[in-house]
Amino acid sequence: MSTHSTSTLEPDFTTALPRRSLLHRAYLLMRTADELARLYEENKTVTAKYVHATARGHEAIQLAAAFQLRPTDCATPYYRDDAMLLGMGLSPYELMLQLLAKRDDPFSGGRTYYGHPSLRRPGFPLIPHQSSATGMQAIPATGMAHGIKYLEGQGLLTSADQQPVVLCSIGDGAMTEGEVAEALQMAVLHQLPIVYVVQDNDWGISATGREMRAMNAYEFAAGFKGLHRLQLDGADFLASHSGMEEAFAYARRTRGPVLVHAKCPLLGHHTSGVRREWYRGDNLTQHALSDPLPRFHQQLLSLGFAETELTALADEARATVAADYKRALTAPAPDPATYLDHEFAPPAVIVESGERSPANAGKALMVDAALHAVDDILQEFPEALFYGQDVGGELGGVFREAALLAKKYGDARVFNTPIQEAYIVGSTAGMSAVGAKAIVEIQFADYIWPSLNQLVEELSKSCYLTNGKFPVQSLIRVPIGAYGGGGPYHSGSIESTLLTIRGIKVVYPSNAADMKGLLRAAFLDPNPVVLLEHKGLYWSKVPGTEDAKTTEPAAGYVIPLGKAAVAQQADAAKLRNGETCVVITYGMGVYWAKTASRELPGQVEILDLRTLNPLDYDAVEAAVRRHGKVLVLTEEPLLNSFAESLAGRIQRTCFRQLDAPVFTLGAANLPAIPLNVELERQMLPNAEKVGAMLQELLNY
């Protein structure tokens, strides 16, 4: 490949036994990793401009793992795994391009840290985006294995004869993360083809293993029934290669999970920003006794390699690294003009299509429109699956929003998960990477918080930090909102928090027709989409929400994301006379405004945003300019909310067209919604409160 140094060996993924050629390659790459670490330290004024970590001390287990991978496999290396990347076939030059944040960094184009790979390249394992957050890669990696298992079961995996396996590399300190336990639970529950390689050097940053954990990863994994375990000397290449060969053979043969605990020394700095001399003391000397490089050197001599041959390999590694560094220093930097590229992948749906109001179609409740939309998708797209808490089996969701789907499509496609919000959301990143298309559900908006690590770190940043290679197709359904005494943990509104997360889309339909069209568009969109579904609108039982029940669109009906709709028009004559205003809102706010406006016939236009990100600000500005008086209405507590932000933006861009300050109305600024219905009523907006504010606005 053009980006490889001429002296760098091409990967040989078919090699299974430690033949002479493999040992030759392993020694060359171990020396190469050593030379990388040495060069980075000698040139730290340049190389430490951006933080990095090296594999020094971990080279043996990393190369042993890399040599098991096939082009049909997947991998999630972590930030110390440069030797593993060399073992997969990446060149030192390519790694240095990322080290120096250069334009041609093959992973991110200079956007993310050294050792944070993402790769879609023929002949190489698939490597999706992973963040720096320790342990977070375990869930997307397990999601990839889950997706592979699903696609295999559906006969959709063209590489099924290769028995693809996922390699998840992780540090022992990260094994204490709760999300790692979620990943292991799902791996054993569904018997997924994944190998977890735990590199244990007995250090976090400055905290030792005895400070951080009561047991090592091998001991911890004993609690997961059905998880095959191995314990290796990760500083011994021959032992590591044999153990990794066994681990991958087991995963390929049984399609079940394996955990490999490999003990390694830490010979380099934790990262370039945390110097080993600050805290290691005599420990560094002790770790040096387990250095894998001199040990492997002696093993090769005993196996018949000549000292001159090993010296030549060391010289070759040194020359390659030096030459590649010289090239990398002069490689072009990213064009600053490209900094905005790849926030999102281009949308799949850009125009409304299909029949919104078919002849002779009956009216549908919003909850049924959602059910039918998912049903249509599962019929049409065999790669689609649906999971979450209580959505499978007999119940089909606590709101019956998935009723009978599990019976219709089987437990492999529609299934219950444990109470693991992080896994539900984060697994979709892995699913997307391998071509499975997940629709998932968080049971109530109030319980989305455990998933935010995954939503923020793994899903939202993936497209941008991989230069567009790995957008995450993920549809996350979230019942939201308050009505009738749901109380503090089943009534919350969360949209403002979600809208501070860049790289995700947030959709909020207010009626059955929009639900069906927007849900399909959200599924087809190649980016993460959170679909907020107001529980009080599901059945149109709340007084004033009767219009949420609409004629049901035909199968295939779709509405592009980011397009607002006028839910109620003002009278043209009153508009000409300057007697009107516009309410900009979404969800339940549409119906509060409709009910309130009955006392002001013809004077109130209602703009239903439908999608909060991307926001149809052109429609907002047009409505503001039509009327000159604006109320931004939300169900959320108002302080520091999306509604207040939108009001401020309107004030700035439409100041000359305003005939009054932009009014805002939302819930009281309280931390939770009380259980008692009268207390709830006092806290939330309602038609009466909206009506009073509209009167004030029109009279301004």
3-state DSSP of 568-609? ECCCHHHHHCCCCEEEEECCCHHHHHHHHHCCCCCCEEEEEC
Point out the catalytic residue in the list 190, 342, 372, 490.
490
**Beta carbons of 411 and 391 less than 8 angstroms apart:** no
Distance CA 192, CA 179 (A): 17
Which residues make Cβ contacts (< 8 Å) with residue 564, sequence separation at least 6?
607, 608, 609, 610, 611, 616, 619, 620
CA dihedral (339, 344, 350, 353) in degrees, to 10, reads: 180
Residue matched to tokens 């689609």: 384
What one-letter code names the amino acid at 182? E
Helical ranges in 116-192 per DSSP H? 138-153, 178-189
C-alpha angle with apex 630: 611 to 559, nearest 5 degrees? Answer: 20
Domains and CATH numbers, the chain: 25-336 (3.40.50.970), 363-551 (3.40.50.970), 565-699 (3.40.50.920)
Kindly provide the residue ranges of all beta strands, DSSP E only, lying in 322-473, ordered along the sequence: 363-364, 384-388, 414-416, 437-441
Output the CA–CA distances (angstroms, integers) from residue 395 to 311, 415, 424, 489, 607, in the order listed. 67, 11, 18, 21, 36
Distance CA 621, CA 625 (A): 6
Q: Is residue 64 within a helix (H) or strand (E), and if so which, with residue range?
A: helix 59-66
Distance CA 663, CA 359 (A): 41
CA dihedral (555, 556, 557, 560) in degrees, to 10, reads: 150
Give the HSE-up count for residue 103: Cα atoms under 13 Å, Cβ half-sphere. 9
Which pLDDT score is estimated for 268? Answer: 81
The pLDDT tens digits of the residues spanning 403-425 come to 788 889 999 999 999 999 999 99
Helix %, strand %, coil % for the chain, to 5? 45, 15, 45
Residue matched to tokens 């806290």: 683
Which pLDDT score is estimated for 326? Answer: 97
Distance CA 501, CA 627 (A): 32
- Which of 696, 652, 645, 695 shows the shortest CA–CA distance to 666? 645
- Which of 63, 37, 62 shows the shortest CA–CA distance to 276? 37
Helical ranges in 502-655 per DSSP H? 512-524, 535-538, 572-576, 589-597, 617-627, 642-653
Distance CA 115, CA 130 (A): 10
3-state secondary structure 469-494: CCCCCEEEEEEECCCCCCCCCCCCCC
Q: Which residues of the chain have pLDDT under 50?
A: 1-17
The single-letter DSSP state of residue 547 is G
**Beta carbons of 54 and 86 less than 8 angstroms apart:** no
Category of 621 on φ-ψ map: left (φ > 0), alpha (ψ -120 to 50) or beta: alpha
Q: Which residues pair with 581 in a beta bridge?
A: 604
3-state secondary structure of 640: coil
The pLDDT tens digits of the residues spanning 442-473 come to 999 999 999 999 999 999 999 999 999 999 99
Output the CA–CA distances (angstroms, integers) from residue 427 to 209, 422, 455, 670, in the order listed. 28, 8, 10, 33
Which residues make Cβ contacts (< 8 Å) with residue 306, sequence separation at least 6?
none
Distance CA 55, CA 235 (A): 11
> Strand 550-551 relative to strand 363-364: parallel, antiparallel, unpaired?
antiparallel
**Beta carbons of 227 and 257 less than 8 angstroms apart:** yes
Catalytic annotation on 490? yes
CA 451 to chain centre: 10
3-state secondary structure of 538: helix
- Which of 138, 262, 126, 254 shows the shortest CA–CA distance to 192? 254
- Which of 179, 182, 185, 176 shows the shortest CA–CA distance to 214? 176
Query: What predicted TM-score, i.e. pTM, was given to this entire model?
Result: 0.94
